[in-house]
Amino acid sequence: MPDIIPILDNFAQLIYILPPMQHIYLDHAATTPVDHRVLEAMQPYFSEKYGNPSSLHFFGQEARKAIDAARDIIATEIGCTSDEVIFVSGGTEANNFVLKGIAFARTQGEIITTPIEHHAILEPLEFLEKRGFRVKILPVDKYGLVDPADVKKAITKETILVSVMHGNNEIGTIEPIREIAEVIRRRTKDEGRNIVFHTDAVQTFGYLPIKVDELNVDLMSVSAHKFYGPKGVGFLYIRKGTRLVRFMDGGAQEFGKRASTQNVPGIVGLGKAVQLLGKERSGRVAHARKLRDRLIAGIQSKIADVVFNGHPEQRLPNNAAFCVTGVEGESMVLNLDMERIAASTGSACSSGSLDPSHVLRAIGVDPVLAHGQVRFTLGNMNTEAEVDKVLEILPRIVEKLRRMSPLYKAK
């Protein structure tokens, strides 16, 4: 009997030396890779500069300086003072902090929002409704846009908070935040009271230059991993004078607003990612928009019966989201994955749900058609060749799935 060990060894070596299969990643709305320059900035703070920033000795103060530097970078980028920037674990925590913090500071009242918000807004609002707070859901049009006039009509003497996302994670529509803020400010001025305005800018911060005074918001949520920073860290902008109950107790960190030892490597990475973004945003946006438009034009010319979702112009520059008649989105995504192309059906946070997207329901998409959504979100490293590869493969996948589908009849 031959000795199989050398054979297995040779096989393993053969597998090892084969070039890796090339994957195409088009799901940057779910997360982005950490920029190598961000990683380099973070690395010393894992095992060399490892002090607790609350400690008074050299190691602690070294970490404290790094945190302060990151906070200053962010404050400069968004046009606020450093003590208005609070580090958190990401967008979900920031949104929970806002909703529960404002609600519990006021003890009662009404919160206004939209039906297309991320679950990190909608689920905390369900929590608050069970505890006696009222939640009012604004309508949106077929593109997912909120009409500022509807905000004006919705505000009552009981309104304590309005929360409207800056850009939608599924369909890419960018909301008229400045105009909504103006409506709120007019009402608060006329009636002599304070209605707090919050925006979830998790999807937009990496693409739109944001100054909080220009947007005229009181609170803003941002997460690092959406713009080439690390996961598990983000920041919440809190305008000075905004009263909210802190979300976590147990220490005086973050100006007494958020207890817990700070994630120093993550915060350093966040600061570096924001610094790079400030220098490179315009180039990144131009690159993403060029690829997005190439992808959309190609799909329109190669695949029949496709409905694009979101506003045609007022949208994120990297987002191409659409529904394909007679095909399930999950089937398209799985078939694309077998071809080494990563896309999604919508929000990564609800990918396990069999229900049609709450965003598509809100904009009036037929429930059957809504099951056929696929979303491509482009990033810095994508190329025209990768887009062309998608345009070569996706029509074949759609054709195959439609042949199998009892729902599709070619026109």
Q: Which amino acid is at 107?
A: T
Task: Measure the CA–CA gap between 123 and 96, rounded to whole angstroms.
Answer: 9
Task: Measure the CA–CA gap between 219 and 239, rounded to whole angstroms.
Answer: 6
Question: Tokens for 266?
Answer: 């993550």
What share of the chain has pLDDT > 70, as a percent? Answer: 92
Which of the four pLDDT bands, split at 50, 70 and 90, describes residue 256?
very high
pLDDT of 8: 39
- In tens, the pLDDT along 338-372 reads 999 999 996 544 444 567 899 999 999 999 999 99
Write down the mean pLDDT value for the chain: 92
Which of the four pLDDT bands, split at 50, 70 and 90, describes residue 193?
confident
**Cβ proximity of 392 and 384 under 8 Å:** no
pLDDT of 355: 75
**Model's pTM, two decimal places?**
0.92
- Across residues 226-239, what is the average pLDDT? 98
Which of the four pLDDT bands, split at 50, 70 and 90, describes residue 3?
very low
Active site residues: 349
pLDDT of 6: 43
Query: Which has the minimum average pLDDT: 12-16, 98-102, 369-373?
Result: 12-16
pLDDT of 353: 53
- Across residues 146-175, what is the average pLDDT? 97
Residue 236 scores a pLDDT above 50: yes
Q: Which amino acid is at 88?
A: V
Extract the runs of DSSP E, i.e. beta strands, from 239-372.
306-308, 319-324, 341-342
What share of the chain has pLDDT > 90, as a percent? Answer: 88
- Across residues 154-172, what is the average pLDDT? 96
pLDDT of 12: 40
Which of the four pLDDT bands, split at 50, 70 and 90, describes residue 22?
confident
pLDDT of 258: 95
Residue 10 scores a pLDDT above 50: no
Residue 16 scores a pLDDT above 80: no
- In tens, the pLDDT along 304-336 reads 999 999 999 999 999 999 999 999 999 999 999
**Cβ proximity of 291 and 365 under 8 Å:** no
Task: Measure the CA–CA gap between 227 and 272, rounded to whole angstroms.
Answer: 11
- CB-based burial, 28-55: b 16+ in 10 Å, e otherwise: bbbebebbeebbebbeebeeebebebee
Task: Measure the CA–CA gap between 204 and 206, rounded to whole angstroms.
Answer: 5
pLDDT of 405: 85
Phi, psi of 406 (to 5 degrees): -80, -10
- Across residues 269-284, what is the average pLDDT? 98
Task: Measure the CA–CA gap between 237 and 192, rounded to whole angstroms.
Answer: 24
